[in-house]
Amino acid sequence: MQTPIKIGISSCLLGELVRYDGAHKRNAYIQATLGEYFEFVSFCPELSAGLGVPRPPIHLVRYEQGIRVQTTKGEVKDYTDAISQVIEQIKPQLPQLSGYILKKDSPSCGMERVKVYDADYLYQRPPEKTGIGLFAAALKQQYPHLPLEEEGRLGDPHLRENFIQRIYVYHRWQQLVAQGLKANDLVQFHSDHKYLIMAHNQDELRQLGRLVAQAGNHTNLHELCEQYIERLMQVLQQIATRGQQANTLSHIMGYLREHLDAEDKTELVEMIQRYQQGYVPLIVPITLLKHHFRRHPVPYIDRQYYLNPYPGELMLLNQV
Ligand code: SF4
């Protein structure tokens, strides 16, 4: 049976009334669409750190000694330690998560560009948007492989596709690790993701291949696997350009060279070009390739996640 894919999420995005003002920030796409594919594990760092609802709003405030998270109106209350340590409460569940969706702009959950106020000029200077929420920072530091994304960024089709792709790659990796990953499994995993990695960075594909080549005789397979997944998850964060995708599609098309007549080849080449020029989305050349591979199966290509990165019903390739 397929293990459910668990995704951590800021509670307010699921409609839970946990915000400082007693409201929520339900995100319909996350709840209705992604909710069909993922099992959400919701967590509100501020609530779990003992801040009630409603509560005075808190902000990131820069002091000479570092950034604190505090209330800025009335009596100043400092929650830096409480929120930094709250990750301990969700820690037992974190290894089972394959991704995490965070609420943007929050001094606890925001992943980037969170407002930071200068302690000496609280109301005289506008805040800089350079901060990261304390919980998000702890998550990043302790689980560097875990795919993270902010709900606001999921509105961008490329970032959304990239995030979902990383979740599925990471989930497949977690399943292998849970079964007791052997050297052969690492080799097969890398092979099955070859074209997916190529689309992100051809040079990194070669570097990762060199790592994998050591699997059979490496004295510490666990260490090698850690290096591999860390590097892979970093590479996959790079958004694949149309040029890189077209190059990958052309490589895959090479496996059909013997089987297609001139007309089919021309049509495929033209479709890849039309995709590269931005006239059609990625799903178009991929669908055409899959059509030809159904008629002329190639087991190696059949295993490539590039052509089937996640359930097609998510329709993410229709928008990139
Ligand atoms: S701490 Fe995070 S989950 Fe809780 S209300 Fe703020 S943004 Fe939402």
Question: Which long-range contacts (C-beta less than 8 Å, at least 24 apart) are formed by 114-122?
Answer: 114/60, 115/59, 115/60, 116/60, 116/61, 116/62, 116/67, 117/59, 117/60, 117/61, 117/62, 117/72, 118/61, 118/62, 119/61, 119/62, 119/63, 119/68, 122/61, 122/72
Domain count, the chain: 2
Provide the domain limits for residue 55.
5-155
Q: Both 195 and 101 in a single domain?
A: no
What mean pLDDT comes out for the span 5-33? 97
Give the pLDDT band (50/70/90) at residue 122.
confident
Q: Both 212 and 147 in a single domain?
A: no
Q: How far is the CA of 9 from the centre of ligand 1 (A)?
A: 9
Task: Classify residue 169: in a domain, yes or no.
Answer: yes
pLDDT reading at 308 higher than 70: yes
pLDDT of residue 1: 58
Q: How far is the CA of 47 from the centre of ligand 1 (A)?
A: 8
pLDDT of residue 23: 97
Q: Both 134 and 169 in a single domain?
A: no
Residue 90 CB less than 6 A away from ligand 1: no
DSSP per residue over 230-291, as a string?
A: HHHHHHHTSPPPHHHHHHHHHHHHGGGTTT--HHHHHHHHHHHHHHHTTSS-THHHHHHHHH
Task: Classify residue 95: in a domain, yes or no.
Answer: yes
pLDDT reading at 228 higher than 70: yes
Q: Ligand 1 pocket check: which of 9, 12, 20 to mutate, most ligand atoms within 8 Å of Cβ?
A: 12
pLDDT reading at 194 higher than 90: yes
Closest ligand 1 atom to the C-alpha of 11?
3
pTM for the full predicted model: 0.96
- C-alpha closest to that of 138 among 86, 193, 192: 86
Sign of CA dihedral 134, 171, 160, 255: positive
Q: Both 113 and 243 in a single domain?
A: no
Residue 16 CB less than 6 A away from ligand 1: no
Q: Both 219 and 293 in a single domain?
A: yes
pLDDT of residue 19: 97
Task: Write out pLDDT tens, residues 283-303.
Answer: 999 999 999 999 999 999 999
Task: Classify residue 160: in a domain, yes or no.
Answer: no
Q: Which amino acid is at 210?
A: R
Taking CA atoms only, the protein residue closest to ligand 1 atom 5 is 19
Task: Classify residue 39: in a domain, yes or no.
Answer: yes
Q: Both 170 and 319 in a single domain?
A: yes
Q: Both 191 and 74 in a single domain?
A: no
Distances (CA, A) of 122 to 21, 125, 128, 202: 22, 6, 11, 47
Task: Classify residue 255: in a domain, yes or no.
Answer: yes
Residue 212 CB less than 6 A away from ligand 1: no
Percent of the chain with pLDDT over 90: 95
Task: Classify residue 202: in a domain, yes or no.
Answer: yes
Closest ligand 1 atom to the C-alpha of 109?
2
Task: Classify residue 43: in a domain, yes or no.
Answer: yes
pLDDT reading at 25 higher than 80: yes
Q: Both 92 and 188 in a single domain?
A: no
Q: Both 146 and 251 in a single domain?
A: no
Taking CA atoms only, the protein residue closest to ligand 1 atom 6 is 19
pLDDT of residue 252: 98
Q: Both 32 and 104 in a single domain?
A: yes
Last residue of a domain, one of 155, 184, 203: 155
Backbone angles phi, psi at 124, to 5 degrees: -95, -30
Q: Both 105 and 192 in a single domain?
A: no
Mean pLDDT of the chain: 96
Task: Classify residue 110: in a domain, yes or no.
Answer: yes
Last residue of a domain, one of 98, 123, 155: 155
Q: Both 49 and 118 in a single domain?
A: yes
Residue 45 CB less than 6 A away from ligand 1: yes
Last residue of a domain, one of 108, 128, 155: 155
Closest ligand 1 atom to the C-alpha of 103?
7
